[in-house]
Every structure is written in C-alpha cells, then in structure tokens.
Amino acid sequence: MSFNSREGAIVSVFAAFCTLTACTSIGDNGFGVLKESPLRQENSVAKAREIQQTFRDIYDLYKDRVVFISTEKTVRQPPHPFFNDPFFRQFFRIPKRSQRKKRTGLGSGFILSDDGYICTNHHVVSGMDKVTVRVEGKTYVAKVIGSDQYTDIALLKIRPLSRLKAVFIGDSDKVKVGDWALAIGNPFGLDKSFTVGVISATGRQDVDFMGGSHTHIQTDASINPGNSGGPLINIHGEVIGINRMIYTKSGGYMGIGFAIPINTAKSVLEQLKKYKKVRRGFIGVQLIPLKREYARRLGLGDRQGALVGGIVDNSPAERGGILVGDVIIRINDRDISGYRNLIDIVGKMPIGDTLKLTVWRKGKNIILFVTVIERP
C-alpha cells in the first residue's frame, strides 16, 4: 500500500472515530447529552438532595405499614316502577322481586400493632358486609372492632401470618403551619401512592358541617378518593394525622385536604379497642355561642364561657342546679374558652367523675357540682 493510500485510510479511520465519538456524546439516538448535568455539582442543590433522600427514606419506612382496604356491600335494587305493570313484566320476562347488587369501595389504613390492629376511617367501613385488607402482598378479611361516626375513626383487626410493622406515632399538638406533610395511601386504587405538601392550617373546625368540638389539620398534600384512612406523616417519619376528606367543588382534589389529629385518634382508638365504642361524658346542657356584646351586658366583660340555652330533663345538669341563662366559665379550675371547649372537656372526662363548675349568674360566680354520665 502506498503512503497516500495509508494516509487516506488513517484519515478515514480518524473521521469515523470522531463521528462515533460525537454520536455517543449526544446519546445513542442522537438526542440528549450523556454527561451529568452541571447542577449535580452545585452546592445549592445539596440541601434539596438531602430532603429528597429523606422523602425516599420515609416511603421505604412506610410502604409496608400502610394497607390497602377494599369493601363490599350487597344492596337490594328495586325494579323500575315502569315494570310494575303485569303485562310489561310478562312481556320482558322481568321478575317481580328486587335484584341484589354488590357495591364496592376502596380506602387506606395503617398498622397500629404487630399483631394486626389497623386504623382507618369510619366512613370507609361503615355498613359494609365485608372488609378486606391487603398488606405486604397478602390479603386478609378484617373484623371491625369498633367504629365512631362522630370522629370518623374505625379500628380493624386481622390475623396476620407473621408480625407486622407498626407506624410511629407523633404528636399532633406540635404541628405548625409550614411543616412538611406527607401522605401515603391508595387514591383511585393506585396502591402506595406518595404525595408531599405542607401543613396549611391547624385547628380547623366544622369542615364537614357536622358541628362538635373536634378539629382538623389542613394540608395541600394531594388527597383523593381512596386516600381516606391513610396516614399524614411529618418529616421525622411520624404519623400526625388520619387523612379524612377534601374540600372540593368538582369532586376531585383542589389543593385542600383535611386530616384528623393523631392525638384525637389515640383516645378514640383506645376506647374502641376496650369498649367497641366511644364512651363520651355528658352532663345534659344545651349550649349556644356567647357573643361578646351579650357577655358584656351580663357583666362578664371580655371573659369567655359557654352560655346554657337549655337543660335536659333529669340530667346531671338539672340535678346539679344549672339554670338556663347561666354561663359556665370554669370546669375544675380550668377556664372555658367557648362552648366547643366545654363539649371537648366534658366529653373526655371519665364516666362517674364529679366536676366542679363555676357559673356566672346574675353578676356573681356560683360553684356547682355535677356528675358525668355516658352520653345517651
């Protein structure tokens, strides 16, 4: 081979090498750059990577502690009134009796103990004929130990083949607006979906217009149908709430979700396990909000309390001497901030306890004693 021929071959090989190098540097198909992004070396990204790793760690910690719940209920569907006519029933060969159909539902829950106690929402399992729980790839038929409509909390029990992994319980009283909030559940049946947001508000009341004294944690972490009963988790990997409901005008997620504080749930779950229901304290007073103007007219000034609007016949309140128009301002030397506060305090009192009430009547403080009974 002549020199010129060899030179041409070398040039051809070099050109081919350059072409191959250029191609591989922008991807096998000629798209994109295979080199690492320069942002990987930026110090500003390091903290974000640490948070990202924390999210991954929390998901790994909880993926086998959150359960998939499915429910079944058989309902009777009456025939259409059009087919009540004997002629049409005979013509279309339609039976007179109503037909049975199965309705199914989905929800989430989380493991409370290694022997199979599980927390979820009351509305997920209420009235259902069959409740099934899937955890760690295994399916179990669950027993509803107890369920409380007022707080929307239910306690289930399964018999696992091996010890389960329980969640870590946090302190919802320490939750602040702006804290990280993470939700894990089964929205629309999409198992173990993980969403991230922040705490948008605390102490929300009347979010479902049911009244009562219980409050909710508000979050913008995505919650959708199927998330109900799943855990709301803080950045430390602790459960701070039970995802319950969303605010929506469309039927879907609109950026606002609500969770039951875990501190509220703890006492409810303990009673459901012990009594199969929640035993709430009751003294028999009907309360109305005390407006500031009326409080001043009564001589209370800016002090707060619960205004008695009615007394239940033969109740502890009646026997204890409480009258309509009294303002209950203190229970056991604990100031009352409003009627919701009084309901919450009395509801949590042990049945049979005697309460020392300070009431404002005709410009004077009066001390009365009433005994707590179980709410009818």
Number of domains within the chain: 4
Check which CATH number belongs to the domain holding 329 and give it: 2.30.42.10
Is 57 contained in some domain? no
Which comes out higher in pLDDT, residue 247 or 221? 221
From residue 216, give the alpha-carbon distance in Å to each of 175, 195, 205, 239. 11, 19, 6, 14
Mean pLDDT over residues 120-146, rounded? 96
Q: Whole-angstrom distance between the N-terminal and C-terminal Cα of the chain? A: 108
Per the CB < 8 A criterion, the answer to whether 290 and 307 are in contact is yes
- Token pair, residue 91, equals 């013509």
Nearest to 272 by CA among 75, 57, 122: 122
Which comes out higher in pLDDT, residue 372 or 32? 372
User: Where does residue 77 rank: exposed (0-12), middle (13-18), buried (19+ CB within 10 A)?
Assistant: exposed
Each residue's pLDDT tens digit, 283-299: 999 998 888 888 888 99
pLDDT at 185: 94
> Which domain-ending residue is among 275, 290, 312?
275
Residues 91 and 128 in one domain: yes
- Token pair, residue 300, equals 């209370």
Is 50 contained in some domain? no
Residues 318 and 232 in one domain: no
Residues 148 and 230 in one domain: no
Residues 292 and 255 in one domain: no
Nearest to 122 by CA among 96, 150, 99: 150
pLDDT at 210: 47
Is 56 contained in some domain? no
Is 52 contained in some domain? no
Measured between alpha carbons, how far is 232 from 220 in angstroms, rounded to an integer? Answer: 11
> Which domain-ending residue is among 275, 296, 326?
275
Per the CB < 8 A criterion, the answer to whether 262 and 242 are in contact is yes
Is 370 contained in some domain? yes
What pTM value is reported for the model?
0.77
Is 42 contained in some domain? no
Residues 76 and 128 in one domain: yes
pLDDT at 306: 93
Residues 256 and 293 in one domain: no
> Which domain-ending residue is among 247, 275, 303?
275
The CB density around residue 300, as the number of other CB atoms within 10 Å, is: 17
Residues 79 and 146 in one domain: yes
Each residue's pLDDT tens digit, 24-38: 445 556 787 778 888
Residue 288 belongs to what domain range?
A: 281-374
Measured between alpha carbons, how far is 150 from 213 in angstroms, rounded to an integer? Answer: 10
pLDDT at 161 over 50: yes
Buried b (16+ CB within 10 A) or exposed e, 212-236: ebbbbbbbbbbbbbbbbbbbbbbee
Per the CB < 8 A criterion, the answer to whether 121 and 228 are in contact is yes
Point out the residues that are catalytic. 123, 152, 228
Measured between alpha carbons, how far is 147 from 122 in angstroms, rounded to an integer? Answer: 6
Residues 269 and 291 in one domain: no
Nearest to 158 by CA among 177, 138, 187, 128: 138
pLDDT at 235 over 80: yes
Chain mean pLDDT for the chain = 86
pLDDT at 12: 47
Mean pLDDT over residues 219-246, rounded? 94
Is 81 contained in some domain? yes
Each residue's pLDDT tens digit, 170-212: 999 999 999 999 999 999 999 999 999 999 999 887 666 444 5
Is 353 contained in some domain? yes
pLDDT tier, 98 (very low <50, low <70, confident <90, very high otherwise): low
Each residue's pLDDT tens digit, 42-94: 888 888 999 999 999 999 999 999 999 999 998 876 665 655 666 556 656 65
pLDDT at 276: 95
Mean pLDDT over residues 247-275, rounded? 86
Which comes out higher in pLDDT, residue 30 or 23? 30
Q: For 40, which DSSP code?
A: G
Nearest to 265 by CA among 140, 146, 92, 350: 146
